[in-house]
Amino acid sequence: MTAVDARPETTTERRFPTGFRWGTATAAYQIEGAASEDGRTPSIWDTFSRTPGKVRNGDTGDIAADHYHRMAEDVALMRELGVTDYRFSVSWPRVQPTGRGPAVQRGLDFYRRLVDELLAAGIRPVLTLYHWDLPQELEDAGGWPHRDTAPRFAEYAGLVAGALGDRVPTWTTLNEPWCAAFLGYAAGVHAPGHTRPEAALRAAHHLNLAHGLATGVLRDALPAKAEVSLTLNLHAVRPLTDSPEDLDAVHRIDALGNRVFLDPVFHGRLPRDLVDDTAALTDWSFVKDGDLATISAPVDSLGINYYSPTVVASGTSDSPSPWPGADEHVRFVPAPGPRTAMDWPVDATGLYDLLTGLRDELPDVPLMVTENGAAYDDYADPSGAVHDPERVAYLRAHLEAVHRAIEDGADVRGYFLWSLLDNFEWAYGYGKRFGAVHVDFATQRRTPKDSARWYARVIGRGGLD
């Protein structure tokens, strides 16, 4: 018996399955910078961030974490962490600046170099095609509410697959289409900043259609063993009370936040109650014959992004909101307990509930936790160290929830910490830090935080002690 064999296991050890994928994640506009280099043209986020009052402090992603020039350094950091997978997104306007026509090879070359660097480091590339950076020219032509944007996206997917398909094993079509549709076109707090509820519903459908069309293109272009996925930020919705009115509020938000994507993609149908609840806004005639069959093309896994639960009650919400048709029926209630720097409640049970709920609804679909993390007010102390015990506690609690869900039958294949680096946090600019690695934006110096070293130990032992 070896020393390892003799080491007694304690009841607190939580080992994850063999082959579990330990990753971290980023998004192109949040980290790359180089906003006008090598043929890249503006995305909707370039335009939005330059619109006065839209982003805190007038921050933009022009430089961000300068990953475009520091990519090799960042891959080396990942290698030090021991991650098995890296989830990154491709900048659409870097590859296809107008959203039409041939690819710009200089743009694709950056992603070729990134993939080569990852593979040389023994890290599996997990590629996301769309993380909210729609080419501005496509927005000018109508954006996601315009049906033609969906086939434009499928064409772009084919360009990227043609360049990287031989070396990237996992492909995600869309990241959080709920945010793109409802924060971007209904609430106006994300790019492109519109407050048109009916347009948001159109955008949601056309994002679904884009996913379906791109899935078909990827199946034709990629090796048979390649995985095609979709990532959703599903809402763990809870009622304030068990009253019929509060339960109705849950149902409405579940339709707008979850089933608007889950039902078309996995069941080939529109939620009937969603159509009824939004009848005053649209008759859904933009859904054409054959759309749902296209949207429901099988995928190999589903990515889940989770940060906190949502508590609702009967009432009304301020307008504009990201919830078309629900403003007069639902109010959102602050959840109790500790909060992050985003003022989001810390409650890992919501992640457990989502994973076990999907276990029951989609028993044949493998799951990946593709984003999970927290922003805190991190800073480097006089010695240069960055101590973030709150983030360590947050990550531990959520990994415990993932482990419990696996024990209870959920087919969860991996976990991706959000995020590798402090970055441009959308409308919050550089004021919110989600990274496991601290970035001094004045010097671009990278410093692994305590949470990064903790996560490396978790990966090394394959679970929690």
> Cα(227)–Cα(286) distance, rounded to whole angstroms?
30
Which residue, chain included where needed, has tokens 């769309």? 130
Angle separating helix axes 450-461 and 67-81, nearest 10 degrees: 50
> Cα(82)–Cα(70) distance, rounded to whole angstroms?
19
> Cα(391)–Cα(389) distance, rounded to whole angstroms?
5
Q: Are 463 and 404 in contact (CB under 8 A)?
A: no
> Cα(185)–Cα(179) distance, rounded to whole angstroms?
9
* Residue 65, CB-side half-sphere exposure with 13 Å CA sphere: 28
Q: Give just the sign of the alpha carbon dihedral 230, 274, 297, 350.
A: positive
Cis peptide bond upstream of 229, omega within 30: no
Supply the DSSP string of 192-221, one letter for each residue.
T----HHHHHHHHHHHHHHHHHHHHHHHHH
Pairing, β 445-448 against β 437-440: antiparallel
Local structure of residue 433 (DSSP, 8 states): B
Tokens for 465, please give them.
């002690």
Active-site residues: which are they?
176, 371
> Cα(65)–Cα(63) distance, rounded to whole angstroms?
6
Pairing, β 21-25 against β 412-418: parallel
Tokens for 340, please give them.
């992050």
CB atoms within 10 A of CB 301: 21
